Homo-oligomer: A and B are copies of this chain.
Amino acid sequence: MNHIGDRLIVEGRRKRTALVVGLDPDLRYIPDVVRQGVDPETGEGAAEAIYAFNRIVIDAVAEHVVAVKPQLAYYEIYGADGIAALEQTIRYARSKGLLVLNDAKRGDIGPTSAAYARAFLGEGPIAGDMVTVNPFLGSDGYMPFIEAAEAAGKGVFVLLKTSNPSSGELQDLKLGDGDKLYMKLAAELGRLGARSVGAHGYSCVGAVVGGTYPEEAAAIRAALPSAIFLVPGYGAQGGTAEALRPFFDARGEGAIISSSRGIIYAYRNLGEQWPSLSEAEISLAIGEEAARAKEAINAVRGAG
């Protein structure tokens, strides 16, 4: 099956989950057992620790998620070594049957967007199955991503209404005709997605809609029925499972809910001794939290 909309729906049904786990590895929050090889002065060994941590996370969450979502910034800090850890992480996730969504938020003028699309949706070492895209440069900035996704059966998630507190400063601006910016963009993405709708009703053009904005989600869902929503903001950013209902379609599908820090650092809730926990202990805490998040989301979307 070479259509990302169909793959996400089918995988979600098979594994009974709408959860995506973000891989945002931050050495400050990684236990000693994983980061013991890192030189605190030079940072040497950081990339190895990041990959070792990601393996633990992937093993712990694999049965509960449809995809993992590496957040590029946390790898770029370490330059080529960090990107090597990303490459290893992508290969490892795929070997576990997981889809890979690179949270890169790229966007540029046409020829450069085409180069980014090649990097993230092509065949190269950091390419995954999906990528997040920033639409600020307009259609000639995001079309190369959509065209690459259509050609490869892969997916893009265009930022529409992001989860952060100040997302409204630009995204909610009221235009001369009274519409908000994100609704105008939603209408445009709906037109573009119409040409790649798959057997299960969803296209390769998804949208990022923050879990912290359920009212906006209802309006966007109505305007954009064939877009899968990538929903960040659940968990550490304050979004609750109850608020997620309007993000799903009538069957409880069509959205993937992303949580990063709330799951991958779940062991920090075990108390101040978290840095000295064993690998088995951190793995258990991460897996239990992923299962809990999956079930909380399933209850809300009627898949419980």
Contacts and interface: CB of A to CB of B under 8 A. Distances in A.
Contact of A106 (B105, B110, B115, B141): B105
Interface size grouping (class) on chain A: 35 or more
A222 interface: no
Contact of A24 (B87, B112, B118, B125): B112
Interface string A135-172: 11111110000000000000000010011111111110
Contacts of A115: 24, 26, 71, 73-74, 76-77
Contact of A138 (B80, B109, B164): B164
A108 interface: yes
A79 B169 contact: no
B116 A76 contact: yes
Residue in A113, A115, A178 whose Cβ sees the most chain B Cβ within 10 Å: A115
A80 to B, nearest CB: 4
Contacts of A141: 162, 164, 166
A119 interface: yes
B137 A162 contact: yes
A87 B112 CA distance: 20
Q: Which 4 pairs, one residue from A and one from B, show the smallest C-beta to C-beta distance?
A: A79-B125, A138-B166, A138-B169, A73-B115
Interface of A: 24, 26, 43, 71, 73-74, 76-84, 86-87, 105-110, 112-113, 115-116, 118-120, 122, 124-126, 134-141, 159, 162-171, 173-176, 178, 181, 184-185, 232, 237
